[in-house]
Amino acid sequence: MLAVSVRRGVENKILFSAKDLCTWFELRRWGFFRVGSVKAVDGVSFELRRGETITIVGESGCGKSTLAKTILGLCLPARGELNFDGKRLNGLNTRQMRSHRSKIGYIQQDPYGALPPFMTVRRILEEPLRINKTGKKEEMKRRVREVLAEVKLTPVEDFIDKFPHMLSGGQQQRVVIARSIVMKPRLIVADEPISMLDASVRIEILELIRGLQHAHNLGVIYITHDLSTVRHFSEHIAVMYGAKFAEKAKVKDILDNPLHPYTRALLSAVPKLDPANVTTFKEVPPGEPPSLLKPPSGCRFHPRCYAIIKGLCDVESPLEFEAKKGHSVACWLYRK
Amino acid sequence: MKKDGLLRVEDLCLHFRTNKGLVQAVDGVSFGLGRGLTLVVVGEAGCGKSSLARAILRLLPRNVHTYTGRIFLNGVDIMKLGEERFRREVRWSKLAFVPQAAINSLNPVVKVGNQVAEPLLVHRLAKTKSEAIARAREACELVGLPGDFLSRYAFELSGGMRQRAIIAMALAARPALVVLDEPTSALDVLTQANIMNLLKGIKQKFKTSFILITHDIATSSELADIAAIMYAGQVVELCNASQFYREPLHPYSQKLIASVPSLRQEKRPEFIPGQPPSLLNPPKGCRFTGRCLSRSNRCEKEPPLVEVKEGRRVKCWLYQ
Ligand SMILES: Nc1ncnc2c1ncn2[C@@H]1O[C@H](COP(=O)(O)OP(=O)(O)OP(=O)(O)O)[C@@H](O)[C@H]1O
Ligand SMILES: Nc1ncnc2c1ncn2[C@@H]1O[C@H](COP(=O)(O)OP(=O)(O)OP(=O)(O)O)[C@@H](O)[C@H]1O
Ligand code: SF4
Ligand SMILES: [Mg+2]
Ligand SMILES: [Mg+2]
């Protein structure tokens, strides 16, 4: 069973769920002439319990960041249902939406662009408190020091008055994380929190996020294109391909028994430290990821798939089949 | 084949002047490299990897304070060449460069094919424009960039295709040595695997030598014959790559290997606590002392980089 639930002896409550979520961008020429729509998220469903992490993995451009932004209310879904903490999010007004957003911490892609260069760490961390009008000045000051200590930027004095450029990449990312938790969120959406960082600091940052998660029983939606660290830092994985989920299961089930041909390709491409690599070539599926403006017919992976069933895969979009309890896969090979 | 047959770098230094003092980005680096072999340079952010590349290619910023040492390419000390001769006879033709984050530096208003051809014209490696274009087309074919991509613009290409174009640019003049600075760290794993396959193929087919700079050790094993581990501006270990992967000797190298994550392993990867020292006033003795678990009094003196086992060089008192 899931690590956190076992520790607490109870199944955690569902914190967040998405059902058949779709986010489309209208593409217009000269501002009005409709050319088509980029279906960046196209029918995605999942749920997440408190204290757990779901990792969303997939190639560049498959729609991961758009999914994150839709969850945060920064993109409006064209269709589908979002539930957070027992409340339906669709159709909220602007004020309700802002209050919703403050309950979700956001670690955005690109840490170097994430911090405003002309603000000190103190200002950066006070900003969300100020915008959401929480507490008095003293209260704010205390909270800022508290989160700095939580992300281990100590002694606090050494960091609080610095500007982002005076900090290393890893320290900057700690500030981004501090900012994401300053409003005491229940959910954190971390969009590629480590991909711009040095390999040797990545583990440190992932452990920090994991520690905060355990301390506050947070749900985490972790977006990445690299699966090499996922075993240690996540309960579930959803593999995204061409704006849809190809496969979704517990971490161990996916790593030990990947079912979807795309998941298999992705796993075998993960770099392995092995001196024998010098002489062997990696098997990579041919072709490029699909266009989301004109996705391929049928299964979106069919033009690159080694297992394609002609006349089926290229015609009809596969449903999500439940191969095993809690392990679903959108591939015709597993049709019932 | 001699191990340092193609390139021999001796005591290379590159220091920058800043308003806070001298930054010792490259401080006494030496190594050799044979034809058809790949040297990987690994180390944490800011340890001087890109500065080393720039020093080898003589692509220097304005605020250089010290630029000394010897760089022999095919036996000729290219540090002694004048700027004009270096540009005409060495850069691009013999020694090419794929800079860090190059995929974002392609010109948005020039067609990709023309950009690949440009260095050939600028460095007078092709006599006419049509010859340059023809050779660019050849190079693009070599890196698996479809012919019709030559007439496209950079923004119409995926990250992987852009990186291929940049590699084509570096290969167009068939240089003997290509310096690759983090060629895949901005790409996702499938694209990364594709690019590594491509480089491996070129290495085998043309016996091109590479210097691959990266902080991703697992990926480095795709290409590496020799490994140089860099810490705070200096090489702390220099050995055959498989020795580094299997049995690292320097305490820093050991930490690096322990930090490599693995899909299959149950053991959690470790991280290296603390931070590398500032290159402004690096510690007098061994620069790793502050983070080293094996340090002792003698580490207050700087250890030399000396041969400790067959062909392995380590800069640490534990092995002297
Ligand atoms: N505002 C927008 N208007 C039109 N298209 C968009 C917009 N934002 C994103 N897209 C497109 O939607 C698709 C998905 O983009 P998204 O940023 O979600 O991908 P991603 O999986 O996060 O990629 P990466 O790994 O590169 O960050 C891409 O094809 C992108 O070009
Ligand atoms: N022109 C310059 N003037 C002053 N300092 C510089 C200059 N260029 C680089 N540095 C400094 O030299 C050190 C080494 O930088 P370099 O870019 O070589 O590191 P790196 O190992 O390539 O790092 P990364 O992995 O982040 O690319 C850093 O501390 C950097 O800030
Ligand atoms: S549905 Fe068909 S084409 Fe798609 S992944 Fe499965 S076998 Fe391959
Ligand atoms: Mg993204
Ligand atoms: Mg660099």
Residue A277 falls inside a structural domain: no
Kindly tell me if the per-residue pLDDT of A9 is higher than 70: no
B15 and B31 assigned to the same domain: yes
| pLDDT at residue number A1 | 37
Report yes or no on A236 lying in a domain: yes
User: Are the Cβ atoms of B218 and A228 closer than 8 angstroms?
Assistant: yes
For residue B182, what is the nearest residue in chain A, using CA coordinates? Answer: A198
pLDDT in tens, B93-105: 999 999 988 888 8
**How close, in Å, is residue B294 to chain A by CA atoms?**
20
> For residue A332, what pLDDT is reported?
97
Tell me if A35 sits within 8 A of A9, measured CB to CB: no
Q: Are residues B14 and B69 in the same domain?
A: yes
**Cα–ligand 5 centroid distance for A177 (angstroms):** 24
d(CA B196, CA B202): 10
Of A233, A223, A125, A135, which Cα lies nearest the Cα of A181?
A125
Show the tokens assigned to A249: 């299961």
Contacts of B280 in chain A (CB under 8 A): none
Same domain, B52 and B23: yes
Q: What's the Rg (C-alpha) of chain B?
A: 20
Residue A249, pLDDT score: 98
Tell me whether B261 touches chain A (CB under 8 Å).
Answer: yes
Rounded Cα distance between A28 and B295, Å, is 64
Residue A241 lies in a domain: yes
Q: How far is the CA of B51 from the centre of ligand 5 (A)?
A: 7
pLDDT of A32 > 50? The answer is yes
Mean pLDDT confidence for A238-259: 97
Q: In Å, what is the CA distance from B275 to each residue of A86, A202, B128, B232? A: 43, 13, 52, 10
Out of A199, A203, A229, closest to residue B216 by CB: A199
Helix axes A169-181 and A137-150, enclosed angle (nearest 10): 130
Tokens linked to B110: 């020039």
Question: Do B182 and B65 share a structural domain?
Answer: yes
My answer on whether B62 and B111 are in the same domain is no
Nearest residue of chain B to residue A225 (CA atoms)? B188
In a domain, A1, yes or no: no
Span A134-149, pLDDT tens digits:
778 899 999 999 999 9
Option in A198, A227, A271 nearest B45 (CB): A198
Q: Does B146 touch chain A (CB under 8 A)?
A: no
Copy the structure tokens of residue B247. 């049995």
| Residue A305 CA to ligand 3 centre (angstroms) | 6
Q: Are residues B11 and B43 in the same domain?
A: yes
Closest Cβ–Cβ partner in A61, A199, A267 for B215: A199
> What confidence tens digit (pLDDT) does each residue in A130-185 have?
888 777 889 999 999 999 999 999 889 989 999 998 888 888 999 999 999 999 99
At B37-76, the pLDDT tens digits run 999 999 998 899 999 999 999 999 999 999 999 999 999 9
In this model, does residue B4 exceed pLDDT 60? yes
Task: Report yes or no: B50 and B213 within 8 Å, Cβ to Cβ.
Answer: yes
**What's the number of domains chain B is made of?**
2
Q: Is B18 near chain A, with CB under 8 Å?
A: no
B89, part of any domain: no
Tokens of B205: 């087919």
Confidence at residue B61, expressed as pLDDT on a 0 to 100 scale? 93
CA B105 to chain centre: 18
Residue with the two structure tokens 């290509």: B178
Q: Is there a domain that residue A317 lies in?
A: no
pLDDT of residue B267: 85
Integer Cα distance of A48 and A163 in angstroms: 36
3-state secondary structure B192-224: HHHHHHHHHHHHHHHCCEEEEEECCHHHHCCCC
Nearest CA in chain B to A169: B45
Mean pLDDT of B256-262: 92
pLDDT exceeds 90 at position A40 = yes
pLDDT digits (tens, 9 = 90+) for A49-100: 999 999 999 998 899 999 999 999 889 899 999 999 888 888 778 788 888 8
Q: Is residue B108 exposed (0-12), middle (13-18) or buried (19+ Cβ within 10 Å)?
A: exposed
Among A222, A255, A266, smallest CA distance to A58 is for: A266
The radius of gyration of chain A's CA atoms, rounded to the nearest angstrom, is 21
The pTM assigned to this predicted structure is: 0.91
Mutation choice for ligand 1 from A65, A244, A293, A300, CB with most ligand atoms inside 8 A: A65
Its domain, for residue B43, covers 7-81+178-186+202-319
Helix (H) or strand (E) holding A29: strand A14-29
* B292 located within any domain: yes
For range A255-281, the mean pLDDT: 94
Q: Is the peptide bond before A155 cis (omega within 30 degrees of 0)?
A: yes
Shared domain check, B278 and B308: yes
- B206 and B301 part of one domain: yes
The CATH number of the domain holding residue A63 is 3.40.50.300
Cβ contacts of A106 within 8 Å, gap of 6 or more: A68, A72, A180, A188, A189, A191
pLDDT grade, residue B2 (50/70/90)?
Answer: low
pLDDT tier at A223 (50, 70, 90 boundaries)?
very high
The secondary structure element, H or E, covering residue B244 is: helix B241-246
Rounded CA separation A270/B264 (Å): 11
Q: What average pLDDT does the segment B280-308 reach?
A: 94
Residues B146 and B234 in one domain: no
If asked whether residues B76 and B220 sit together in one domain, one would say: yes
pLDDT for B79 equals 96
- C-beta atoms of B242 and A204 within 8 A: no
Chain A residue numbers touching B45 (CB-CB < 8 A): 168-169, 197-198, 201
Residue B245 and residue A204: Cβ atoms within 8 Å?
no
Number of domains in chain A: 1
